[in-house]
Amino acid sequence: MKIKKSIRKASSLLLLAFSVFKASFAQDIRPLSEINSPYNESHAVRSPLGELYFSVGYHPENTGGTTDSGDIWMSQPISNGKWSKPARIKPLSTPGNDVVVGFTGPSNILIYHDGQQMPQGIHMYSKNGNNWRYEKKLNIPDFKNQSSHFSGRLAADGKSIIMSLQKDGGEGNEDIYITFKKSETEWTTPLNLGPIINTFGQEQTPYLTNDNNTLYFSSNFKANGRGKDIYYAQRRDESWKNWSQPKELSTANTIGSESNYAKIFDDEDLALFTTTSNSEGMGDFMVIAFEKLVLSEEDSVVSPEDFIALNQDQQELPISDSLKQEIVSSVPDSISGPPAIEKRVESRKEEVKTVETETVVKREIAEETKVVNIDPANDKKVNREEELNFVQIRDQRNKKPIDYRITIADDVEKKVLKNQDEMQQEWEKWNWNYIEVSAKGYIPNSLTVEEWQHLKDKTLQMVQARAGARKVLSNIQFIRGTADLADARSIQELDLLVDFMKENEQVKIRLEGHTDNAGDPELNKELSLSRASKIRAYMTLKGIDFERIRITGWGGSKPIADNATEQGREINRRVEMYIDR
């Protein structure tokens, strides 16, 4: 009876906490400010007592410190719609990736561990008073996750777990699977949801509605210039492989990367999800009105014949004629759904307009800092018997000539020159191949001889080192998959940045690391941050104040080119420098 009273008390408190939300949220997106931190919040699950249990990655208090991709944290609802300061749950956390899967009762929780300390899999813990105690590991045959990412949720009826993992025989990277409960610790082999849901990309953070008929999940299969978007689809029959064509949510998707969408507040029509749009590459929790699936006759629905063709090559046994007929009979002739979702409130429209405006501004800045303007009509190789072009060095904004310095270099040696006449003389003496142009108050440029000779209108435009100016550090290369510098040219480029910072002592910069979207997103984020950190470490060793350089790792969440092509992926693997002054 004490437990039931506690549940009623906690539920009342939670209802009070969220009654403040209901009127104000509507279709608007609001952050869960008391819980969000500079670190990576993800995968929240509500306990029967009303608390939020969730993962926080890269927090310095995590078991594995700032390289730990997820410890378990908890926050409790308090008065006036607020939440308590999150606390790390040490007994549920390991140095690896830990994810809350669900609660089987008020005092029983399921946690995924990635295998770094506990065996890989889903484990059961029980709570005695305020202390969590380990019980046992669920027996799920053929549970082998080849990715460092895992997401999964216990269904509302407790009879299945929908989850995302990467294993042999899947459609691509992480796919969505379902396993069914046979007993408290015995579960079935994970069943792949098939090619309507799963693609060559990454399908992650699945959530099933309470009736087990509608699936919400995140995916990057479109390679649409953003990170992941949230989709939903409806189950057509009992096979778990026949679904309506997935549709994007109309409200939650932004310019960031979205995931972990779930209606975890059953007493309010609200959903919680994670986005990177408002943070430096890390996930924040957002609350929004829950978006229900809307199907129309125009929606692309997979026909019974197409469904059979898509899945036939995945069946362990041939599909019999009777089974084909059963599948055909199970698909309705027409589909109807709930009424259309209400339009977003005006504040949300204004928010979208603001995002669009900011995107335009960013594009303008990107154009301004595209300082090496190569003439595409002139791509011939340089003949060293020809004279070097005399290039005008001008301010990018006002087009006026500026005072500058010239440095020439090969892979070993550098030489500072007084002017371009000296550069012509040196051209005839030794086989140097790089040109550095510097000016006080301007972002420096480093060009190959070929780029110099093919500058459009024989003009190099220099960008002022003002707040918001951006430069892609394309000459700094890393060994693939590591944060190790690849060549001598990279060191020369770093030295050029060091000289720039020493000459412009008032300037502060932000280094942002980026990757393509291939592979595990958490590893990509870690790699991008490590590369930015490597550059900062080099510059501080050369005498630049640590506080003048901020770093961020975005992983693959902010592409500037199409990840569907190798050329696009190469462009997306970059480090950018922003003037923060």
Task: For the chain, list the domains and their CATH numbers.
Answer: 370-462 (no CATH), 466-581 (3.30.1330.60)
Look up residue 547 and give its DSSP letter: G
Buried residues in 569-579 as b, exposed as e (16+ CB within 10 A): bebbbbbbbbb
Please answer whether residues 157 and 272 qualify as being in contact, where contact means their C-beta atoms are separated by less than 8 angstroms: no
Task: Map residue 349 onto helix, strand or coil.
Answer: helix
Q: What is the pLDDT of residue 252?
A: 77
Q: Is 491's pLDDT higher than 50?
A: yes
Any idea which residue has 């952050």 for tokens? 31
Task: Give yes or no for residue 221 having a pLDDT over 80.
Answer: no
Whether the per-residue pLDDT at 312 is higher than 70: the answer is no
Report the C-alpha gap between 523 and 174 in whole angstroms: 14
Q: Are 424 and 453 in contact (CB under 8 A)?
A: no
Does 270 score more than 90 pLDDT?
no
Which residues make beta-bridge pairs with 259? 274
Per-residue pLDDT, 381: 58
Burial of 475 (0-12, 13-18, 19+ CB in 10 A): middle
How far is 316 from 191, CA to CA, in rounded Å? 12
For residue 33, count CB atoms less than 10 angstroms from its CB and return exposed for 0-12, middle for 13-18, buried for 19 or more. exposed
How much is the average pLDDT of 108-119?
A: 95
Indicate the length of the chain as a whole number.
581
**Residue 543 in this model has a pLDDT that exceeds 60:** yes
At residue 435, the pLDDT reads 93
Report the SS3 class of residue 576: strand
pLDDT confidence tier of residue 430, bands split at 50, 70 and 90 = confident
Can you tell me the distance from the alpha carbon of 374 to that of 376, in angstroms, rounded to the nearest whole number? Answer: 6
So what's the pLDDT on residue 295?
58
Q: Are strands 214-219 and 175-180 parallel, antiparallel or unpaired?
A: unpaired
356 falls in which pLDDT band (50, 70, 90)? very low
More confident residue, 192 or 266: 192
Beta strands in 473-568 (DSSP E): 509-514, 549-553
What amino acid is encoded at 370 in this protein?
Answer: K
pLDDT higher than threshold 90 for residue 402:
yes
pLDDT at 341: 26
Helix (H) or strand (E) holding 329: helix 321-330
Q: pTM surpassing 0.85?
A: no
Q: Which of 5-14, 292-301, 431-440, 536-545 has the lowest mean pLDDT?
A: 5-14
Whether 565 has a pLDDT exceeding 90, the answer reads: no
Among 80-89, 225-234, 455-464, whose mean pLDDT is lowest?
225-234
CA dist 32 and 21 (Å) reads 11
**Is residue 338 predicted with pLDDT exceeding 70?**
no
pLDDT at 318 over 90: no
Q: Which residues pair with 435 in a beta bridge?
A: 408, 447
Task: Report whether pLDDT(418) > 90.
Answer: no
Tokens of 579: 């003037």
Weakest-pLDDT range from 76-80, 226-230, 287-291: 226-230
- Residue 373: pLDDT band (50, 70, 90) is low
Cβ proximity of 140 and 152 under 8 Å = no
Q: What is the pLDDT of residue 362?
A: 37
User: Residue 226 has what pLDDT?
Assistant: 52
> How much is the pLDDT for 8?
39
Residue 352's pLDDT is what? Answer: 33
Structure-model confidence comparison of residues 168 and 371, the more confident one: 168
Residues 166-202: pLDDT tens digits? 988 888 788 999 999 999 889 999 999 999 999 888 8
